[in-house]
Structure 1
Amino acid sequence: ANQIQDPVERFVAVARYFLSGWHIKPKGVKKPYNPILGEQFRAQWKFDDGTEAFYIAEQVSHHPPISVYYYASPENNISVLGDLLPKSKFLGNSAATLMQGEIKVSFTNRPGEDYIITMPNVYARGILFGTMLMELGDIATVKCAKLDLVCNLDFKVKGFFSGSYNGLAGKIKRESTNETLYEISGKWSDEIIIKKGTKKEVLFDAKAAKINPKIIAPEDQQEPNESRRLWSKLTAALKVNNQDLATEEKGKVEDAQRASTKDREERGLPHIPRYFESDGKGNFDIKLK
C-alpha cells in the first residue's frame, strides 16, 4: 500500500488490509485462555517476494488486562502498533467482549501518515441455550488525519427475526467536508464490495484470499513465558479431552502467576514489560533497545 501514489487509493488499501483478517477464526466458540502478566507471543513471516515481517505481543498489565503488539516489515516500510483493553459484558443469552484500544498503521517512508484504527466488538451468542456462535458488531473506524480521510464500518449483527450473519456496511469520506468517496458493503466472512458512483468492484474476497503461514520457534526454543510453551500442557490436555488434567494444568500456571505477583509486590517492585514501555499516561511503544 505504501507504494500507491494516490492518497485516496492508499487509504482504501489500508481499509482492505484491516478487513482482510476477520474471516480467520477458529471453528465454533471456545473460551479463550486468560493471558498472564508478562506473557509473550512472537512470530515472523516470509513472503513470496523475499521480504519478511516480524510480530511481538506482550501482556503488559493484568488489572486491567492490557495487551500490546507490534508488527513490522522493514523492507515494505510498514509498522503496526496496537493495544487491546478487552472488557466483558453479559447480555442475557450473549456475552460481549468490548474491544477497546486502537491500532496505528504507519508507513516509515511517509512520515506523519498514520492510520488510526478501532475494532468491532465480539459477541458470543447462545451461551445459555441454543447454538453457540460468534458475531462481530458495532462500528469500527479507519482514520488518517494527514489525508483528511475516515472510514466508518458498521459490522452488523443478525436480527432476532430477520437479517443475515456477518454483514458489513460503510463509507469512506473526506472528513472536513463529509463528502462520500466510496461505499462499502458485503460480508466480512465472504465478499466485500466497494462502490464509487455506479462503479463496483471487489474490495476483498475471503474465499480467494491467501494466508501466509506464520513461523514460530519450536516450543523447546521458546522462552518460558511465551504463549505456546507456557500453556503447552493445558493445550495437550484439551486435545485429548481430559478436562480434569486441563483444569489442573491451568491452575498450575495461574498459581505460579499469583506467587510471582505476591513476591514482587512484597518487595515493592513494579512489573516492567520486556518489549514495550509506557509513557505513564496509558500509552505504550516498542522498546528500541
Structure 2
Amino acid sequence: MFIDAEKTPVLTPPMSLERRLAAEHQSLNLVQRILSLFRSVGPGSDLTRLQLPPQFNLPKSHLQCYGESVYSIAGDLLGQCSEGKTSLERITAVVAWSISTTRPLVFGVSPYNPILGETHHVSRGSLNVLLEQVSHHPPVSALHATDSEANVELVWCQSPLPRFNGSGVEAVIKGYRRLNLLSHGESYELTAPSLVMKLLPMPGAEWNGTVHIRCLESGLQAELRYHRRSAVLGLGGSSSAVHGRIFHRDSKQTLREIRGRWDGEITVKDLASGKVSLLYNAKAAIAQLETPFLRNPEVLLATESAVVWAEVSAAVLRRDWDGAREAKRKVEEEQRRRRAERENEGELWEPKFFRITQSKDGDWECFPIASNVPPAPIVVYS
C-alpha cells in the first residue's frame, strides 16, 4: 500500500558528532523532568511499554536510527570489508565497520518506538537497506542490506531490553548481526554494546559492554570492550573508550590489538610486526552526514517511518508539544485499532519482508524473504 499523495514524509538529519553536541546542550534542562518521569518506575521494571511524552522524543523512529548506522556514513567501510586479501585483513575491516555503527547518544531524548509493521527503506549508491518492525511487544527490528557492487549482505535482528536500575536505564541489545562477504564465502556474526542512560550521580548517555565478532569459516574472532565512566561521581576514564583484540578461536593467540575512542581515533597494532596504524577515524566517518531525501514518492510505502511519524515529527520540530502529543496519540490509537481487528478476525500478523523465529531462550532470528533488497524511494548521496 502506497501513501496518500497529500501526506508529506518528514526526513531529518542523521545523528552525527557535531549534532550530538548541539542536542546534548539543549537536552540538559530535561534532567529534572526525566527524574520525575521515573519516580513511579521501580528498579528492574520493563520499560519497553513506557510511552514517552513528545518533549523527550527525537523527530525520528528507532528504525531510522538503526538504518542510519548502516547507510549514513562518509566513505564505504562496509564495502571495504570485502577488499582484504587475507582473512585477517578482512576481519580487521569488519571491526572498523562494526565500530562505525556506534553512533552518538543524546541524554534526555529518544526516538519513537516503531509500530508493528513499520518499515524503513533507503539506498546509498549500490547499497540498499530495508528494515521492518517484526514485533511490537517485545520490540524486535529486522534489517536486510545488500550491496551488489561490493557483493556484501547484512542481516540484522535485534531487540532492546531496557531496565530501570534505580540510577538510570540500561538497555541490553539482544540478537545478532550477520555480515556475509559473498565473494569470499565468509560469514561474520556480531553482537552490539549495551546502551546506558545514567541519571545519577551525573546524567549522561554511554555505550558499555563487550562486542563479540567471529568469522565462522576462518576461526578468527575479535572482542571490543566499550568502557563506561567510573561510578564514583561519574568521573574517571572515558565514556567512549574502546579496547580490544583480534585472535584465533583455537589458539587464543592475540594477533592484533585495538585501542582508542569510538568518537575519535582508533588504532590497530599488528603484534607480529609491531606496526601501529589508524583503523578508524570517527570525524572522517560520522561527521557532516547527509540527510536522506525522497527521490520516488510514487513508490513510498504507507508503512515508511518518515510517513508513519510525519505529523509527530513536524510538530516536534516546531516545538508544538500539544500538536505532537495529539499526533502521537493518533498513531498509537490506529495501531490499537488494527490489533483489535486482527484479534476479532482471528488473524495472526506476519511480517511482509522477513520470516521470524524465537528460540527457547528468547532470542529472535529474522530471515529475509527476498535474496536482494531493491533500490529505495529514499536515497542518500554517496
| Structure 2 runs not aligned, ≥5 long | 1-80, 372-382
- In structure 1, what is the Cα distance between the partners aligned to 2:215 and 2:317? 44
Which structure has more RCO (C-alpha within 8 Å, separation ≥ 6)?
2
Residue 49 of structure 1: aligned partner: none
Residue 350 of structure 2: aligned partner: 272
| Aligned-residue offset at 1:27 | 5.0
1:52-95 CA-to-partner distances (Å, cap 9, x unmatched) read: 11000000111211100011101110000010111011122211
Mapped pair 1:240 → 2:322: no
| Structure 1 runs not aligned, ≥5 long | 47-51
* Structure with the higher strand share, 1 or 2: 1
CA 1:7–1:193 in 2, change beyond 3 Å: closer, same or farther?
A: same
CA 1:137–1:219 in 2, change beyond 3 Å: closer, same or farther?
A: farther
Letter in 1 for 2:117: G
Residue 294 of structure 2: aligned partner: 217
Letter in 2 for 1:205: N
Residue 88 of structure 2: aligned partner: 8
CA 1:214–1:151 in 2, change beyond 3 Å: closer, same or farther?
A: farther
Aligned to 1:41, which of 89, 108, 120?
120
Residue 141 of structure 1: aligned partner: 212
1:124-162 CA-to-partner distances (Å, cap 9, x unmatched) read: 122x7754x210001111101211111111000011342
Q: Is the 8 A contact 1:42 1:216 kept in 2?
A: no
Mapped pair 1:228 → 2:302: no
Residue 123 of structure 1: aligned partner: 196
Residue 260 of structure 1: aligned partner: 338
* SS at structure 1 position matched to 2:285: coil
Mapped pair 1:21 → 2:101: yes
Aligned to 1:55, which of 125, 129, 151?
129
| Aligned-residue offset at 1:9 | 0.7
> Percent identity over the alignment?
27
- In structure 2, what is the Cα distance between the partners aligned to 1:156 and 1:280? 30
Residue 8 of structure 2: aligned partner: none
- In structure 2, what is the Cα distance between the partners aligned to 1:169 and 1:267? 53
* SS at structure 2 position matched to 1:283: strand
TM-score, scaled relative to structure 1: 0.90
* SS at structure 1 position matched to 2:327: helix
- When the two chains are superposed, the root-mean-square deviation of aligned CA atoms in Å is 2.0
Which stretch has the larger CA shift, 236-245 or 65-74? 236-245
Letter in 1 for 2:370: L
Mapped pair 1:285 → 2:367: yes
Q: Is the 8 A contact 1:183 1:194 kept in 2?
A: yes
Letter in 2 for 1:236: A
CA 1:277–1:234 in 2, change beyond 3 Å: closer, same or farther?
A: same
Q: Is the 8 A contact 2:220 2:248 kept in 1?
A: yes
Letter in 2 for 1:116: E
1:234-266 CA-to-partner distances (Å, cap 9, x unmatched) read: 011111112121111111000000010010011
Residue 32 of structure 1: aligned partner: 111
* SS at structure 2 position matched to 1:261: helix
Mapped pair 1:191 → 2:271: no
| Aligned-residue offset at 1:208 | 2.4
- In structure 1, what is the Cα distance between the partners aligned to 2:142 and 2:249? 29
- In structure 2, what is the Cα distance between the partners aligned to 1:252 and 1:155? 39
1:33-67 CA-to-partner distances (Å, cap 9, x unmatched) read: 01110000010002xxxxx1100000011121110
CA 1:25–1:210 in 2, change beyond 3 Å: closer, same or farther?
A: closer
- In structure 2, what is the Cα distance between the partners aligned to 1:163 and 1:252? 45
Mapped pair 1:114 → 2:180: no
- In structure 1, what is the Cα distance between the partners aligned to 2:237 and 2:368? 42
Residue 281 of structure 2: aligned partner: 205
| Aligned-residue offset at 1:199 | 2.1
| Aligned-residue offset at 1:200 | 1.2
| Aligned-residue offset at 1:272 | 1.3
Residue 250 of structure 1: aligned partner: 328
- In structure 1, what is the Cα distance between the partners aligned to 2:84 and 2:212? 21
Residue 169 of structure 1: aligned partner: 243
* SS at structure 2 position matched to 1:102: strand
1:82-119 CA-to-partner distances (Å, cap 9, x unmatched) read: 101110111222111111111000012223x1000000
Aligned length: 280
